Amino acid sequence: MDSLLSSVADFISRNAMWAGVILGTVTFVESLLVIGAFIPATGLLVLAGTMIATGILDPANVILGCVIGAVLGDAVSYAIGRRMGIRVLRHRWLKNHRRKVAWTRLYCRRYGVASIFIGRFFGPLRAFVPTMVGVLQMRRRTFQVANVTSAFVWVLAMVIPGWLVGKGLNHLAEGQGKTFVAVTAVVLVAVVLVIQRVLKARAVRRNQILRGAVSEG
């Protein structure tokens, strides 16, 4: 994972003008049903924040591109769920994700609009929540307001920590070159990802009601 993030970060830094489009595409795909579960958008956004702090990327370009990608990705997934209804849950693509689907369904029923916000930060559900609220026929206007708002919150929450790290590294690495900054940033992103996984695991253990319901299903 570290080598992948490092390679993508290097590609983005060499194509800074297209950073918004590249990262926007990543956040778009990351929001799609099933596919999104395999896209490491979180680490890339933290890295993008670091590169913004070091002057490699333009903040407006990155943030706008990522927000647009996240909004469009969730909108497409929501439209699929609303159009296909319960049939989408029986699709062969979801055959190996039945537990996540069942969990997400209970989760969305319980938390409603809040599930869209929380789902942005909860990896196991992120690729399924928009489709599920579509299946549950959440009002379009309600969904779109939550979709756009949560996208801004999520992107900023991912970029700002990287920006803060980048500012610190920029100060510490004066005269030591960009290689030091890049390598250290990748290591820190790896730490962030590990912490995120630990928090997700703890959240799963604490949510006994939903987990028990899924086991019965």
Residues 44-67: what's their mean pLDDT? 88
17: alpha, beta or left, given left = phi > 0 and alpha = psi -120 to 50?
A: alpha
**For residue range 180-194, what is the model confidence (pLDDT) as tens digits?**
555 556 666 666 666
Q: Does the pLDDT of residue 85 top 60, yes or no? A: yes
137: alpha, beta or left, given left = phi > 0 and alpha = psi -120 to 50?
A: left
pLDDT interval class at 214 (50, 70, 90) = very low
Residues 195-206: what's their mean pLDDT? 57
pLDDT of amino acid 217? 47
3-state secondary structure the chain: CHHHHHHHHHHHHHCHHHHHHHHHHHHHHHCCCCHHHHCCHHHHHHHHHHHHHCCCCCHHHHHHHHHHHHHHHHHHHHHHHHHHHHHHHHCHHHHHHHHHHHHHHHHHHHHCCHHHHHHHHCHHHHCCHHHHHHHCCCCHHHHHHHHHHHHHHHHHHHHHHHHHHHHHHHHHCCCCCHHHHHHHHHHHHHHHHHHHHHHHHHHHHHCHHHHHHHHHC
pLDDT of amino acid 29? 86
pLDDT of amino acid 37? 62
Q: What are phi and psi of 112, to 5 degrees?
A: 55, -130
Quick check: pTM over 0.85?
A: no
Q: Does the pLDDT of residue 25 top 50, yes or no? A: yes
CA atoms of 182 and 95, how far apart (whole Å):
40
For the chain, what is the mean pLDDT? 76
pLDDT of amino acid 209? 46
CA atoms of 216 and 140, how far apart (whole Å):
32
Q: Of 83 and 40, which is predicted with more confidence?
A: 83
**For residue range 97-142, what is the model confidence (pLDDT) as tens digits?**
677 777 777 878 888 888 888 888 876 677 788 888 888 889 999 9
pLDDT interval class at 68 (50, 70, 90) = very high
Task: Specify the amino acid at residue 67.
Answer: V
**For residue range 132-163, what is the model confidence (pLDDT) as tens digits?**
888 888 999 999 999 999 999 999 988 988 88
Q: Does the pLDDT of residue 30 top 80, yes or no? A: yes
Give whole-number Cα distances, 44 to 107, 142, 156, in Å: 27, 29, 13
Q: Are 94 and 119 in contact (CB under 8 A)?
A: no
Neighbours of 159 (CB within 10 A): 25
